[in-house]
Structure 1
C-alpha cells in the first residue's frame, strides 16, 4: 500500500479530495501533517476520503507552519471526524518524551511517524502502533529489524534552489519495487514531487518548472521525474507565459513518447490547460503534478 506524505496546505488537500474519487482505497492511505490553523479544509478532506473508503493518517502533534511551536494537539479539533482518520504521532527522536507519552496514551490505536533514530525503549513502545512510518537510512539495521507494521519512506525529490538548476530527467526512487523485500513492512511512502523540508512559499520564479513522474521500464521500473523548464529571461515577470512555455515542452514530449507516462487524470489536466492556454497559478500546477505522481504510483502497485 502507498502512503503519500503531504503537508496540509490548500492544494495538497484539494489533490487528495480529487484523487479520492478515482483511486481504489486498497492502494492508498495518505499521511497528512496539518500546517494551517484553519482546519476546516482538513475536516472536509477527511470526510471526503472516508466517504470513499480511504482512512488517512493525520499527524495530531504537528510542528510546521502555523504549528511551529509544536504545542497544539489537532485531535481536540477533530472530534466529529473520530473514526474517519487514524491519529498519527510524530516522534522526532528517542528523547522526544512528550510525543512518546502522547503515543502511549492511545494504547495501540494510533500510528507512529519516526523522523530519526530509535532506541530499545522506544522500539518496545512504538511496536504497539497500527503503522510505524520509518526511514530505513535513519535507523540502525538492528533497530529497523525489530520494528513491526513498518511503512518505509524516504525523501526522494531532489529539490533545487533554482528551477533553472533542474536537469531534464532525474531518478526519484525504486522503493515502490523494493519495499516488499523488507520483513514486517506493510507499505511505503514518499513526499511526492515535494521535499520533506517545509517552506511556506518559494521565491520569485525566474523559471517555471513542471515536474512529471514516470515509471522507467528500462531501469527495472524505477520512478523517474521529467522536469520541463521554461525559458529564463533573468526576471520574475510573466509567470503565465513561462508556464505555457514549459507546458508546450511537456505536451510535445509526451506526444512524442506516448507510452512513457501513465495516462492519469493529472496528465489529462495538463493537456486541457494546454488546449485552453490557461494559466491557473503555480500552486494549482503543483497540485496537478502531485495528483499525477500519486496516480502513477497507485497504478503501478495495482498492476503488481
Structure 2
C-alpha cells in the first residue's frame, strides 16, 4: 500500500495504549487509548485524540486533566444477553452520548453500536440450537427526554425447529416492523433478504449498519 501512497503516514493516526511510552518518540499523528488512570499522558501537537474507554469514564477528574477538544468518550451502549433467547422485545440503549456529548465539550463519542465492548466473533453453536436475533435501534422520546431504544427480533428453536425457516421468520419479523425505523442501508438489507433467510453474520451487519446511520442522523 505504501507504494500506492507516497505520504501514507499523513493519512494514518498511530494508536497507543496510555501505558505505552513509545508514543513519545512517534512524530506522526497519534491517538491515545485510555483504559485506566495509571498513566498521565502529556499533550503534544501531534496528539490528535485522547480516547477514553468505558473502564475509565467514571474517573472524571482524570479525564478533566486533558484537552477536552481532543477527547473522545466511548460508552458500552449495548446490553448483552446470553443466551440469545433472553433478549426482551425491546430495552433502552445504555448510552445517551449522542444527545449529551456536545454539552460535555468533548470532540466526539463512540458506543460500540449493537456490539458490546470486547466483542469477539464466536465460532457459533449448533445451528439447530441457535436463537436467531436482529437488533435495531431507534430514537424515542419519553417525558420530553430523547433516548435510544433497541428492538430485538428473535426466533427460538422451540418456535421454529428448521434453521432456514427460523432465519426467514426472523427476517420477516424485522421486515414487518421496518417502517417504524429510520430508513437505512440496514433496513435495505432486510428488504433484500425478505422473504428468505440469511446467515447469522448478516444479522450483525444489518444491526451495525442501521445503528451507525441512525446516530449519524442525530448528530
**Fold match (TM-score > 0.5):** yes
Matched, 1:298 2:216: yes
**Which residue pairs with 1:151 in the alignment?**
72
- Tell whether the 8 Å contact from 2:165 to 2:197 is kept in structure 1 after alignment: no
Aligned pairs for 1:208-227 within 5 A? 208-218=132-142, 220-227=145-152
Distance 1:106 1:300, change over 3 A: same
Q: Secondary structure at the match of 2:216?
A: helix
Farther off after superposition, 135-144 or 263-272:
135-144
- CA offsets per residue over residues 98-121 of structure 1, 9 Å max, x none? x2x1221224720111122245xx
Deviation at 1:291, TM superposition (A): 0.6
- Tell whether the 8 Å contact from 1:206 to 1:233 is kept in structure 2 after alignment: no
Distance 1:103 1:81, change over 3 A: same
Separation of aligned partners in 1, 2:166 and 2:7: 44
Q: Decide which structure has greater strand share.
A: 2
Distance 1:175 1:262, change over 3 A: same
- CA offsets per residue over residues 188-237 of structure 1, 9 Å max, x none? 111111111232415415210110111113362211110001033299x7
Which runs of structure 1 show a deviation greater than 3 angstroms over 4 or more consecutive aligned residues?
Answer: 78-81, 125-128
Aligned pairs for 1:221-236 within 5 A? 221-233=146-158
Structure 1 stretches of 5 or more lacking a match? 1-42, 48-77
**Which residue pairs with 2:23 in the alignment?**
103
Separation of aligned partners in 1, 2:154 and 2:218: 26
**Which residue pairs with 1:192 in the alignment?**
113
The structure having more radius of gyration, on CA atoms, is 2
- Tell whether the 8 Å contact from 1:112 to 1:126 is kept in structure 2 after alignment: no
Q: Decide which structure has greater helix share.
A: 1
Deviation at 1:165, TM superposition (A): 0.6
Aligned pairs for 1:221-300 within 5 A? 221-233=146-158, 238-254=162-178, 258=179, 260-275=180-195, 277-279=196-198, 281-300=199-218
- Tell whether the 8 Å contact from 2:35 to 2:55 is kept in structure 1 after alignment: no
The TM-score normalised by the length of structure 1 is 0.61
Distance 1:115 1:240, change over 3 A: farther
> What is the aligned length?
209
The TM-score normalised by the length of structure 2 is 0.83
**Which residue pairs with 1:131 in the alignment?**
49
Deviation at 1:243, TM superposition (A): 1.8
- Tell whether the 8 Å contact from 1:108 to 1:130 is kept in structure 2 after alignment: no
Separation of aligned partners in 1, 2:45 and 2:76: 23
Separation of aligned partners in 2, 1:198 and 1:268: 25
- Tell whether the 8 Å contact from 1:89 to 1:110 is kept in structure 2 after alignment: yes
- CA RMSD of the aligned region, Å? 2.8
Distance 1:102 1:290, change over 3 A: same
